[in-house]
């Protein structure tokens, strides 16, 4: 974590280790960042006497410490305590602060393994695919063997990320393992076929379905989803830009059209590289 140049209160020379994340922080802004990035993993332990004392003595924030002590005596929720810290620091927008509080509320009664999965899902939602993949991979060995449903769900989410990273062969294997782990997981079965569809030629995929009748019903569901996705694409931003470029091709000339097309593809590729390298 980079050094914060301007901060509310003082920049502490002594770090505070945030429970459950083992993240060292030196000021209230860094604390807020950890709250944001790990909202699904945190619970009531995010705020205790140690944190309050550190904020008061090391960061020079006695007013905040006083308010937090009152919340502690009232047995306040983790979301209320985080909300107080975020509001005091003026961290991000009001919408962002509300989102963090919401995530904390939603995770308050979750099993730890489910919290970790939701945290990885949050990373996927924000297109941090490489980080999410690492989270899912680390979580799988921690799930009790008898919890077949959760294990299968995590495998499906991991396989979905592998697909977004274009590792279709690995994704197909992960989807298949998820299906074996919990055969009632329809998303695992459909995902497995979707990955195969990306790997195989149309002829090979059709031959696979013909030789493996147990996948036939799932293949129909996949084709329905595939058809719906194709129907949605014409309304997408990328499709609209490409249509506009095609219209302008005759007036601007082929050279200009292909130059703009190359620029568009370069932009899309760079966006993808930025996304998967986070």
Determine which of 39-48, 88-97, 229-238 has the lowest per-residue pLDDT on average.
229-238
Q: Which residues of 37-57 are buried (b: 16+ CB within 10 A; e: fewer)?
A: bbbbbbbeebbeeebbebbbe
Asked if residue 119 lies in contact with residue 57, where contact means CB atoms within 8 angstroms, the answer is: no
Q: What pLDDT was estimated at residue 5?
A: 44
Q: What is the pTM of this model?
A: 0.59
Residues in the chain: 278
| Maximum average pLDDT range among 128-132, 151-155, 259-263 | 151-155
Statement: residue 156 has pLDDT above 90: yes
d(CA 249, CA 209): 42
Determine which of 74-78, 143-147, 183-187, 232-236 has the lowest per-residue pLDDT on average.
232-236
Q: Which has more pLDDT, 240 or 13?
A: 13
* CA 60, chain centre distance (Å): 34
Q: Please, is 106 exposed, middle or buried when counting C-beta atoms within 10 Å of its C-beta (0-12, 13-18, 19+)?
A: middle
Determine which of 40-44, 65-69, 206-210, 268-272 has the lowest per-residue pLDDT on average.
268-272
Q: What pLDDT was estimated at residue 275?
A: 43
3-state helix/strand/coil string of the chain: CCCCCCCCCCCCCCCEEECCCCEEECCHHHHHHHHHHCHHHCCHHHCCHHHHHHHHHCCCCHHHHHHHHHHHHCCCCHHHHHHHHHHHHCCCCHHHHHHHHHHHHHHCCCCHHHHHHHHHHHHHHCCCHHHHHHHHHHHHHHCCCCCHHHHHHHHHHHHHHHHHCCCHHHHHHHHHHHHHHCCCCHHHHHHHHHHHHHHCCHHHHHHHHHHCHHHHHHHHHHHHHHHHHHHHHHHCHHHHHHHHHHHHHHHHCHHHHHHHHHHHHHHHHHHHHHHHHC
Token code pair at residue 156: 């499906």
For 34-42, what is the mean pLDDT? Answer: 78
d(CA 248, CA 7): 51
Residue 4: which pLDDT band, with cuts at 50, 70 and 90? very low
Determine which of 133-137, 177-181, 246-250 has the lowest per-residue pLDDT on average.
246-250
For 35-51, what is the mean pLDDT? Answer: 78
Quote the percentage of the chain above a pLDDT of 70. 77
Statement: residue 182 has pLDDT above 70: yes
List Cβ neighbours of 118 (8 Å cut-off, separation of 6 or more).
40, 106, 107, 110
Q: What pLDDT was estimated at residue 137?
A: 95
Residue 246: which pLDDT band, with cuts at 50, 70 and 90? low
Q: What pLDDT was estimated at residue 277?
A: 39
Asked if residue 77 lies in contact with residue 41, where contact means CB atoms within 8 angstroms, the answer is: no
């Amino acid at each position: 974590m980079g050094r914060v140049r301007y901060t509310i209160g003082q920049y502490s020379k002594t770090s505070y280790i945030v429970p459950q994340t083992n993240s060292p922080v030196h000021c209230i802004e860094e604390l807020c960042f950890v709250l944001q990035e790990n909202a699904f993993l945190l619970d009531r332990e995010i705020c205790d006497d140690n944190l309050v004392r550190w904020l008061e003595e090391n960061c020079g924030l006695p007013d905040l410490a006083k308010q937090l002590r009152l919340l502690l005596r009232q047995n306040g929720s983790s979301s209320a305590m985080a909300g107080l810290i975020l509001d005091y620091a003026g961290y991000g927008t009001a919408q962002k602060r509300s989102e963090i509080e919401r995530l904390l509320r939603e995770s308050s009664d979750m099993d730890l393994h489910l919290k970790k999965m939701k945290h990885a899902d949050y990373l996927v939602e924000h297109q941090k695919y490489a980080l999410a993949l690492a989270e899912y991979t680390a979580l799988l060995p921690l799930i009790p063997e008898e919890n077949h449903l959760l294990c299968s769900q995590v495998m499906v989410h991991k396989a979905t990320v592998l697909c977004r990273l274009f590792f279709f062969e690995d994704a197909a294997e992960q989807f298949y393992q998820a299906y074996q782990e919990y055969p009632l997981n329809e998303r695992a079965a459909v995902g497995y076929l979707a990955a195969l569809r990306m790997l195989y030629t149309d002829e090979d995929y059709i031959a696979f379905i013909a030789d493996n009748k147990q996948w036939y019903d799932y293949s129909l569901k996949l084709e329905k989803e595939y058809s719906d996705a194709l129907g949605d694409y014409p309304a997408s931003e990328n499709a609209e830009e490409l249509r506009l470029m095609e219209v302008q091709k005759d007036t601007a000339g082929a050279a200009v059209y292909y130059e703009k097309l190359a620029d568009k593809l370069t932009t899309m590729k760079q966006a993808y590289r930025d996304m998967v390298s986070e």
